[in-house]
Amino acid sequence: MLNIYKYLQYKILKIDGQSMSPCLNSNDLVLAKYSLKLFRNDLICFNLPSNPKKLYVKRIIGLPSEFIEFTGADIIINGNKFISHDIDIKKLSASKWYNNESELFVLGDNYIDSYDSKNFGPINIDWIKYKIILKLWPLGKLNSL
């Protein structure tokens, strides 16, 4: 029974869209797992209440109870500059958010083509379905995320 449970925790997902490019591209296949252990820079899959049938893939930038601010080319989290080599933030407009104790701030790596927390605000942790752990396809680009 335990082996069945472990098997059901994993899912292979096909990426739809370019919001996570260059890390993930349309038609890439990834291995995702249900996980309660979430960290900054993790890639997650979630649904929005306004569109429950669409699965979004984004990167966790802000954790619960954090202040997030965009200023110029920087993301500031709780007063400290946050730098992510996977996100080009040069053109983000100045904005501020606060995550409550059950919220995360998420961004697509391709911010120009990404509908994410800068558009809809922080997401509730309960909306998360999976954490992406491995890129499976295309072959030759197998890597952990």
**Domain at 49, CATH number:** 2.10.109.10
- Ranking 58-67, 80-89, 131-140 by mean pLDDT, the lowest is 80-89
Residue 85 has pLDDT above 90, yes or no: no
- Give the model confidence (pLDDT) of 104-133 as tens digits: 999 999 877 789 998 999 999 999 999 999
Residue 95 has pLDDT above 80, yes or no: yes
In the chain, the number of structural domains is 1
- Expressed as residue numbers, the domain containing 115 is 2-144
91, 96, 97: which is closest to 112 by C-alpha? 91
Q: CB-based contacts of 41: which residues, under 8 Å, 6+ apart?
A: 59, 60, 61, 84, 86
* Average of per-residue pLDDT across 18-22: 92
Q: How far is CA 141 from CA 15, 41, 72, 145, in A?
A: 15, 19, 33, 11
